[in-house]
Amino acid sequence: MTMQVEQKEAEGGFELILSGRFTFTDYPAFRRLVSDILERPVSGYVIDLEKVEFIDSAGLGMLLLARDEADRKGRSVELRGPQGQVKRVLNVARFGTLFTIRG
Amino acid sequence: MAPDGGPGDICPETAPHGTDTWVKRYCTANAHAPSGIAEPAGGGSAGDLRRAVRCLDSWLGLSDVQRRTLEALVSEVMGSSDLVERGAITLSDSFRDLVSQANTQTERVESIAQIVSRIEVDGELISLQQVTRELETSLVEVVDHIISLSKKAMEMVYALDDVIANVDKVEVLIGDIETINRQTNLLALNATIEAKRAGEAGRAFSVVAGEVRDLSNRTKSLAEQMRSQVGTVTRGVREGHTILQGVATMDLSSHILVKERLDRMLRALLEQNEAFREVLDEAAHASNDMSKSISGLVMGMQFQDRFKQRLEHVTDSMHVLAVALADLEDETRTAFPDATKDSSRADALVDQVLGKVRMDEVRKRLIARLMSGGDLSELDRPELFEEGAQHDGDDGIELF
């Protein structure tokens, strides 16, 4: 089962809403949407992880690449609402020191 | 003086009436003494003198017993005082031992806590918290490496995707070349046909058309080779993809479990440490309280000093009395050389005194002192009191 990626324009900027399992096979859609957002004139965007049930190291790698790409273009990326396994993985990987993680 | 019985007859209330009255009363009473020597009352001066001498005899016997009793009591009191003093010293020493043992115990508990919370690695003492932290640091490093590797693999995947996108473009270009080449080949074929029609005049043109067809065939072959090469590249990239997927994909669940377990272990160790510290604090408090209480006890033992001083006053006074009695006995003997010790009343007094003494060993010492006229210094040795004390410990007080 692949992850669903939804792009949404919100008050503060753009949001990328993910749901399901975030693994290697999800890279084409994720990469394309991240690139799309960075084409727009926004200062940054939020990746919503609330509905993500599972993430593996490839998913973490993709989040880091998204952050690198945003940095190169002078934009910011925030993570929001990780739950369960995702929250625990982000904790073990100390993503709190690399990202702003809300809720 | 004894409140009842024979000697009570020597009642001090008669004293204010003068010695004569006292002597008369006493000697009248004495007329019924076991000695049985009776004198008619109101006899002549010789009779008075005999009665007086008999009174003196009784007095000498009584005084002798009183003096000996006083001396025996002085010795008894001093012996008891010594007993209490030695007991107090022994108790104080024991209490001090208790304090030092309590302190030693606290130190032991402390050293146990130290030993339990540390392990020795390569000659270095490391706390268990430190061990857990090092494990956790190692785990975090491993996770960091995994994620860093995954990130690089994904970067490679992105790059290979870009390569594939470019290769796709190359394939399109090859297709363009092939289309153009097919048209070129067709043109060359047409040119050959037209040259044949022109006959001799078209011969040279026919050669050129043939050359063009050759070129076209070579181009076609080249395009086929390119297509084949591009296919190889694409297959290579796809294989690389699969490999990179294996590199990038790792389930970190086990790492999460290990990390969370380490966190729990660290918390448990900290709690254990805290518990140890509380126990140590309690032990230190208890030890301190014990020291204070025991110091109080040792202070309390100083009652013995006051006790001893008071008893010394008592024994000094008794001694003065004994000496006064001895002096008076001597004076009496000097004044009345005929006077001899009559112990009939004294014996009754002895019986009464002994009747009050219920401890067997004290009785034995008193009897020895009262019945013997010899040297009694042996009886005052502390060992006798000590043995007696131990003996009493077994048998308690003997009832008379």
Chain A interface includes B154 (CB < 8 A)? yes
**Residue B58: partners with Cβ closer than 8 Å, 6 or more residues away:** B26, B30, B33, B342, B344, B345
Nearest CB partner across the interface for A64, out of B143, B151, B249: B151
Q: What is the pTM of this model?
A: 0.61
Q: Which amino acid is at B110?
A: E
**Which ipTM was obtained for this model?**
0.93
Compute the nearest-CA separation of A69 from chain B (Å).
11
How far, in Å, are B113, B178, B361, B399, B400 from residue B358 at the CA level? 57, 141, 9, 6, 6
Which chain A residues are Cβ-neighbours of B161 within 8 angstroms? 28, 31
Ranges under pLDDT 70 in chain B: 1-44, 372-400
Q: Give the nearest chain A residue to B259 (CA atoms).
A: A92
Q: Where are the alpha helices (DSSP H) in chain A?
A: 27-39, 57-72, 84-92
How far, in Å, are A22, B10, B49, B258 from residue B336 at the CA level? 134, 21, 11, 114
- A39 has pLDDT over 70: yes
Chain A interface includes B164 (CB < 8 A)? no
- Element at A13 (helix H, strand E): none
In 3-state terms, what secondary structure has residue B202? helix
Say if CB B212 and CB B184 are below 8 A apart: yes
Query: Cβ B256–A88 below 8 Å, yes or no?
Result: yes
Query: Cβ B150–A61 below 8 Å, yes or no?
Result: yes
**Cα B188 from Cα B105, distance rounded (Å):** 112
> Rounded to 5 degrees, what are φ and ψ at B301?
-65, -10
Which chain B residues are Cβ-neighbours of A88 within 8 angstroms? 256, 260
Which chain B residues are Cβ-neighbours of A90 within 8 angstroms? none
Query: Cβ B147–A61 below 8 Å, yes or no?
Result: yes
Q: Token digits for A99?
A: 């990202």
Q: Token digits for B166?
A: 């470019």
pLDDT in tens, B133-188: 888 899 889 989 999 999 999 999 999 999 999 999 999 999 999 999 999 999 99
**Cα B122 from Cα B67, distance rounded (Å):** 85
pLDDT at B372: 63
Compute the nearest-CA separation of B271 from chain A (Å).
23
Query: Cβ A58–B260 below 8 Å, yes or no?
Result: no
Chain A interface includes B241 (CB < 8 A)? no
**Cα B325 from Cα B336, distance rounded (Å):** 16
Angle of helix A27-39 relative to helix A57-72, nearest 10 degrees, comes to 20
How far, in Å, are A67, A87, B100, B328 from residue A4 at the CA level? 20, 19, 75, 129
Which chain B residues are Cβ-neighbours of A62 within 8 angstroms? 154
Chain A interface includes B252 (CB < 8 A)? yes
Query: Cβ A61–B143 below 8 Å, yes or no?
Result: no
Pick among A53, A60, A99 to test the B interface (most B CBs inside 10 A):
A60
pLDDT at A52: 96
Report the percentage of chain A scoring pLDDT > 70: 98
Identify the band that residue A63 occupies on the pLDDT scale cut at 50, 70 and 90. very high
Pick among A30, A92, A98 to test the B interface (most B CBs inside 10 A):
A92
Q: Give the nearest chain B residue to A94 (CA atoms).
A: B140
Which chain B residues are Cβ-neighbours of A56 within 8 angstroms? 249-252
Interface list for chain A against chain B, based on CB atoms closer than 8 Å: 23-24, 27-28, 31, 56-58, 60-62, 64-65, 85, 88-89, 91-94
